[in-house]
């Protein structure tokens, strides 16, 4: 099952962000499990999606609905995004992401440590730590309808290699161990 955690997280991000049609959303860490689920949701919400990716992953993200892909460097982040989803950077390293957001915009993060507003150097950007442990935004029934991007499948005997690859390699989507 590749979807439970990433699907619940993607749904919680969308419910918290309340993305409106035409808003520009920057997705940091778009090639991961949550990113590859949330991009189609953003597309369905009629947002303009700018996603970080390697050149090798750009086509995958465009196929999922991203309007534009950019590199991972902060210097490539666009100015004036309405919303940013941080799916990968530690929450105490969000100054560059916050600087890409327009005044009054929203920054949502799913990473630890639990973020503090002063870490962004922006008091004019809403900061939200999204962690829906109580299932407030839906459960497995709703998640089952979401798409999953599987980057690679491993047998149970290859489970250790899957863990090593997760830590050491750039991966797209989810790594799945089949039993």
Per-residue pLDDT tens for 77-119? 999 999 999 999 999 999 999 999 999 999 999 999 999 999 9
- List of domains in the chain: 4-140 (3.40.50.720), 149-178 (no CATH)
Calculate the dihedral angle through the C-alpha atoms of 137, 143, 149, 154, rounding to the nearest 10 degrees. 110
Per-residue pLDDT tens for 28-67? 999 999 999 999 999 999 999 999 999 999 999 999 999 9
pLDDT band at 129 (very low <50, low <70, confident <90, very high): very high
Strand-pairing partners, residue 154, are 177
The two three-digit tokens of residue 170, written as one number: 């750039």
Per the CB < 8 A criterion, the answer to whether 9 and 17 are in contact is no
DSSP code per residue over 95-116: HHHHHTEEEEEEEEE--SSPP-
pTM of the model: 0.87
């Amino acid at each position: 099952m590749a979807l439970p955690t990433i699907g619940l997280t993607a749904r919680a991000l969308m419910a918290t962000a309340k993305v409106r049609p035409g808003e520009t959303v920057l997705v940091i860490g778009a090639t991961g499990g949550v990113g590859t689920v949330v991009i189609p949701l953003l597309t369905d919400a009629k947002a303009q999606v700018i996603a970080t990716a390697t050149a090798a992953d750009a086509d995958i993200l465009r196929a999922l609905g991203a309007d534009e892909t950019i590199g991972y460097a902060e210097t490539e982040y666009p100015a004036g995004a309405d919303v940013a989803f941080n799916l990968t950077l530690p929450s105490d390293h969000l100054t560059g992401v916050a600087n890409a957001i327009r005044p009054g915009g929203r920054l949502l993060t799913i990473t630890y440590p639990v973020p503090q507003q002063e870490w962004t150097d922006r008091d004019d950007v809403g900061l939200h730590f999204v962690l829906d442990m109580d299932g407030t935004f839906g459960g497995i029934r709703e998640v089952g309808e979401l798409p999953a991007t599987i980057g690679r499948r491993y047998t149970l005997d290859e489970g250790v290699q899957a863990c090593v690859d997760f830590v050491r390699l750039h991966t797209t989507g989810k790594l799945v161990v089949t039993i």
